Amino acid sequence: MRKSVLNKLNFLLNSRSLLCSNAFYSRQLSTKINRDHKIPDDNLTLKDFLVVGKNLPKQNIKYEGTDENEDILPPYLQNIDIDGQGRKVYFDVYGCQMNVNDIEIVWSILKSHNYKKTQELMEADVILIMTCSIRDSAETKIWNRLTHLTGMKRKRPKNQPLNIGILGCMAERLKETLIEKERQIDLIAGPDAYKDLPRLLSLSKNGYSTINVLLSLDETYADVMPVKFDKNAVSAFVSIMRGCDNMCSYCIVPFTRGKERSRPIDSIVKEIRTLHEEQGIKEVTLLGQNVNSYRDTSKGIKDCPTELVTGFKTVYKTKVGGLRFGELIEHVANISPELRIRFTSPHPKDFPKSLLEVINNYPNICKSLHIPAQSGSSSVLERMRRGYTREAYLELIRDVRKIIPNVSLSSDFISGFCGETEDDFQQTLSLINQVKYNVAFLFPYSMRAKTTAYRKFTDDVPNDIKLERLHRMVETFRENAQVLNEKFIGTKQLILIEDTSKRSEKEVYGRCDGNIKVIIPSSDKFSIGDYVAVEITSASSQVLKGFPLEKISLTDFYRQC
């Protein structure tokens, strides 16, 4: 019976989230489930869940900004002290770069509410886990970690309580079922609910299980300046858009991250200027689930039609208006010629020639493009709902190489998607052989509930075949990458020194324009954060080695080359 009650709550929360936008931000949905999880189950509505509690009178909730239910707020939502009072937070981060950036947004919000950060698990008052749901294996890893952390929580003395919070995509995907499965979890916050964390954490501190998994139509955290975890970092991620409307049939992201929305250009430029001018950041990576479909409509100016590349289509209605990615990246490139720019993850459909020309024209925009293909078979691509054929993808690659001659390429591929035959897979291998990528991210298919593939197709490629195909993809990628990387030998590359090599104190590393790791001997003539001209002396499929020629500015390097 309890399960059906929770399903009902799930449904109610989901229907709310569809309605919600940031304008309704104050319509907090905080589920208070009493700790022994006894939930009354007759004729329940969402309001019942909001007020269920041992000591609280049953009363109606008033959502701010609405006329719904005039009565007063329950005591735990009234005048709650959201100050962290110096409580120490330990952060654990899983998943993509968006999560790395999001945790810095979370930290910025908590820091301004008087929380402290700790790197010592044992002294933490709060543990927040930023999670990923992209594949089953990603979630398994997090469950294993949770087993360890909840065991630790159980052993804590009463006078040193610990709260555990789940943030991000797994929080959004599993919602309150997380608490159902692991009762030591105190807090669940989805990707658009981070501004609510001070309130949720205060409630958790007072013994409530709290959840906010509302997805927003316009939350971009544009007004939150992320606080860097690593003060000495020379590069930074900057989130420019959130969510995804593409609905690739295998992918959970549109369900965990919600609708696509772009952050206003002014706030992006302001953040990057601050990072570069005040925090010494030399390289920024513009981030988004679909970074090149960026569209800033905040000023309502300029009716820019979508320039879809021939052979590409979308599952959504053509969007119009606003400033596009090509214009944004030009604005960012103009902040300083000494600031290097990368971006990820783009979608192949949003690479119009005008964007490729902008990338080629600016020396400080790296000539390294991630163009995720996912498969080399047109019939698999069709089932994946990628919106292009093998031929259209190859045509795009031809254009890219024509306009940006020395471009280096990376891609994502999935092995063993529903219905993938050996012949389909051979086409993937032939695409990898034909295009030749410098970097590739290769995954075995993992079916995700809710997705189109889950509803329409059968996960019919056995696991051992998925893994065997993955192995063959890795081999094919590596053989090609080895040949490509060897072509760098004898060339001069500009690298930004990032850190000391993990293997040896006597070596440092950075990345060349093509985003390949380059290791060089350390020297007192340059340090972390400097651009150094390097001659490449050896290459493997993963890494280049070289010797330093001189410390140099980005502008001077490209003037010479």
- The residue ranges that bind ligand SAH (CB under 6 A) are 134-135, 250-251, 253, 289-290, 345, 347, 372, 374, 412, 414, 443, 445-446, 448
Give the C-alpha distances (Å, rounded to integers) separating 418 from 381, 442, 453, 474. 11, 16, 8, 20
Residue 188 or residue 253: which is nearer to ligand F3S going by CB? 253
The correct pick among 33, 253, 409, 435 for binding ligand F3S (CB under 6 A) is 253
Return the closest-CA partner of residue 510 out of 485, 489, 534. 534
**248 scored as a contact of ligand SF4 (CB under 6 A):** yes
Minimum CB distance to ligand SF4, residue 304 (Å): 21
Q: Which does 98 bind (CB under 5 to 8 A by kind): ligand SF4, ligand SAH, ligand F3S, none?
A: ligand F3S
Identify the CA nearest to 37 among candidates 3, 85, 65.
3
Among the listed ranges 104-112, 162-170, 227-235, 243-251, the one in contact with ligand SF4 (CB under 6 A) is 243-251
Q: Choosing among ligand SF4, ligand F3S, ligand SAH, none, which partner's interface includes residue 254 (Cβ < 5 to 8 Å by kind)?
A: ligand SF4
222 binds ligand F3S (CB under 6 A): no
Choose from ligand SF4, ligand F3S, ligand SAH, none: what does 99 bind? Cβ within 5-8 Å by kind: ligand F3S
Please report which helix (H) or strand (E) contains residue 500, including its range.
strand 492-500
Which runs of consecutive H residues, i.e. helices, occur in 95-227?
Answer: 97-111, 136-155, 169-174, 177-181, 197-205
CB burial class (10 A; 0-12, 13-18, 19+) of residue 3? exposed
Residue located via tokens 């850190």: 499
How far, in Å, CA of 284 to CA of 276, rounded? Answer: 9
Query: Which of ligand SF4, ligand SAH, ligand F3S, none sits in contact with 95, Cβ below 5 to 8 A by type?
Result: ligand F3S
Cβ–Cβ under 8 Å, residues 496 and 235? yes
Nearer to ligand SF4, 90 or 413 (CB): 413
Q: Residue 438 touches which of ligand SAH, ligand F3S, ligand SF4, none (CB < 5 to 8 A by kind)?
A: none
**99 lies in the binding site for ligand F3S (CB under 6 A):** yes
**CB of 541 vs ligand SAH, minimal distance in Å:** 19
390-403 and 353-361 are packed helices; what angle lies between their axes, rounded to 10 degrees? 30
Residue 437 binding: pick among ligand F3S, ligand SF4, ligand SAH, none (C-beta 5-8 Å cut-off by kind): none
Q: From its phi and psi, is residue 43 left (phi > 0), alpha (psi between -120 and 50) or beta?
A: left
Q: State how far the Cα of 190 lies from the Cα of 203, in Å rounded to an integer.
A: 17
Q: Which residues pair with 544 in a beta bridge?
A: 518, 539
Cis peptide before 553 (omega within 30 of 0): no
- In this chain, which of 31, 133, 345, 438 binds ligand F3S, going by CB under 6 A? 133
188 binds ligand SF4 (CB under 6 A): no
The window from 79-87, 92-100, 375-383, 398-406 that contacts ligand F3S (CB under 6 A) reads 92-100
**Binding string, 111-130, against ligand SF4, x = CB under 6 A?**
--------------------
Asked if 178 touches ligand F3S (CB under 6 A), the answer is no
Picked from ligand SAH, ligand SF4, ligand F3S, none, the partner binding residue 135 (CB below 5 to 8 A depending on kind) is: ligand SAH
Judge contact between 162 and 126, C-beta under 8 A.
yes
Which residue of 96, 130, 167, 251 would you call a contact of ligand SF4, by CB under 6 A? 251
- Looking at the Cβ atoms of 254 and 416, the one nearer to ligand SF4 is 254
Among the candidate windows 182-190, 247-255, 320-328, 549-557, which touches ligand SF4 by CB under 6 A? 247-255
Q: With binding defined as CB under 6 A, does residue 246 bind ligand SF4? A: yes
Residue 254 in contact with ligand SF4, rule: CB under 6 A: yes
Which of ligand F3S, ligand SAH, ligand SF4, none sits in contact with 443, Cβ below 5 to 8 A by type?
ligand SAH
User: For 352-361, b where at least 16 C-beta lie within 10 A, e where not — what string?
Assistant: beebbebbbe
- Tell me if 520 contacts ligand SF4 by CB under 6 A: no
Q: How far apart are CA 178 and CA 162, in angstroms?
A: 17
DSSP 398-446: HHHHHHSTT-EEEEEEEES-TT--HHHHHHHHHHHHHH--SEEEEEE--
Beta carbon of residue 95, minimum distance to ligand F3S (angstroms, whole number): 3
Nearest approach, Cβ of 206 to ligand F3S (angstroms)?
30
CA distance 476 to 497: 30
d(CA 186, CA 171): 12
CB of residue 345 to ligand SF4, shortest distance in Å: 7
Binding partner selected for residue 445 from ligand SAH, ligand F3S, ligand SF4, none, CB under the kind-specific 5 to 8 Å limit: ligand SAH
Q: For ligand SF4, what does the binding mask look like between residues 324 and 363, x meaning CB under 6 A?
A: -----------------------x----------------
287 in contact with ligand SF4 (CB under 6 A): no
Q: Looking at the DSSP assignment, which residues form a beta bridge with residue 284?
A: 236, 341
Nearest distance from C-beta of residue 347 to ligand SF4, angstroms: 5
Beta-carbon-side half-sphere exposure of residue 236 (alpha carbons within 13 Å):
28
Q: Give the residue closest to ligand F3S by C-beta.
A: 95
- In angstroms, rounded to a whole number, what is the distance separating the alpha carbons of residues 240 and 284? 11
Query: Using CA atoms, how far apart are residues 212 and 165, in angstroms rounded to an integer?
Result: 11
Q: How far is the CB of 410 from ligand SAH (least distance, A)?
A: 10
Token pair of 547 as six digits:
């010797």
SS3 238: strand
Residue 6's H or E segment, with its range, is helix 2-19
Number of residues that make up the chain = 561
Which of ligand SF4, ligand F3S, ligand SAH, none does residue 194 bind to, with CB < 5 to 8 Å depending on kind?
none
- The residues that touch ligand F3S, with contacts defined as CB under 6 A, are 95-96, 98-99, 132-134, 168-169, 252-253, 256-257
- The residues that touch ligand SF4, with contacts defined as CB under 6 A, are 244, 246-248, 251, 253-254, 289-290, 347
